[in-house]
Amino acid sequence: MHHWKPPPPLSLSLRSCRFVLSFTPAPAMSASSSSEVAPTGPADAIYRDRILSSKLYFDVPPSKVPVIYSSSYDIAFFGIEKLHPFDSSKWGRICQFLIKEGFLDKKQTVEPLEASNDDLLVVHSESYLSSLKSSLNVAIIIEVPPVSLLPNCLVQNKVLYPFRKQVGGSILAAKLAKERGWAINIGGGFHHCSAEKGGGFCAYADISLCIQFAFVLLNISRVMIIDLDAHQGNGHEIDFSNDRRVYILDMYNAGIYPFDFEAKRYIDQKVELASGTKTKEYLDKLDEALEVY
């Protein structure tokens, strides 16, 4: 565990959860310190080149607000959205609620690009991405068994494409947050997915991807993840288990999925709650947790 005073939060990604990333700009580097972030081998150079050639960062006109959303986020076909406790059509309803209440004009939202295979390879391996060409594997990840019976072309278009659009939104949110001081991706926050393993309705590690892009393109030196989903964020915890630049605060119900005891070892600041925790107790514990050393 390492102690670190976080900077103000800059970007937010909404899943079923509240999820915040805080960034610290990198100081000007001397020749002796530059090795901390510079590529250290051929693999690092390849990842860096993929990030530099990506199209996911693009200029957003000032007329747009830093709220990222696409109607493609929703996953709804053949009633699949009714087969899992996770509401896979919630993102459109969130957007409609914000519009109805006068908080948002849909014309001002930002449409992200779909993350390409090269973008995903910044974190994921070829073997993991290839495994998603099996409908059975995708069904296991999203915990909807009937998906295993569908042609993979349909699964790619109706399930994985919406996920890839949300990945693009999470990555773009970091850029907008750096420019505007804040940003929200109405989708994303797939905190159960790590580089080599999906699960819990999370097929791509958008959090890890967002952070890796920010390290290379935004001159960011440190990141704090504040994960307030009811479930432990085991995916990003595994991915950043050995990265001292990333500090993780995870507040979750310890009595429910995923019970990932290995990943718990990599949480810098854990707040474990019990089912039935009341609002006041929850908020008091959160306030206490945010008063980091």
Averaged over 208-235, what is the pLDDT?
95
Confidence check: pLDDT of 246 > 80: yes
Q: What per-residue confidence (pLDDT) applies to 77?
A: 79
Question: pLDDT-derived band of residue 78, with 50, 70 and 90 as boundaries?
Answer: confident
Q: What per-residue confidence (pLDDT) applies to 208?
A: 97
Confidence check: pLDDT of 36 > 80: no
Q: What per-residue confidence (pLDDT) applies to 132?
A: 98
Q: What residues does 250 pair with on adjacent strands?
A: 227, 270
Beta pairing, strands 67-68 & 220-227: unpaired
192 is catalytic: yes
Tokens of 70: 């696409």
Q: Which CATH superfamily is domain 9-29+44-290 in?
A: Histone deacetylase domain (3.40.800.20)
The pTM (predicted TM-score) of the whole model is 0.89
Catalytic residue among 2, 84, 191, 192: 192
% of residues, the chain, pLDDT over 70: 85
Complete edge-to-edge strand list for the sheet that includes strand 9-13: 67-68, 184-185, 9-13, 19-25, 220-227, 246-253, 269-273
Q: What per-residue confidence (pLDDT) applies to 90?
A: 86
Question: pLDDT-derived band of residue 79, with 50, 70 and 90 as boundaries?
Answer: confident
Q: What per-residue confidence (pLDDT) applies to 11?
A: 58
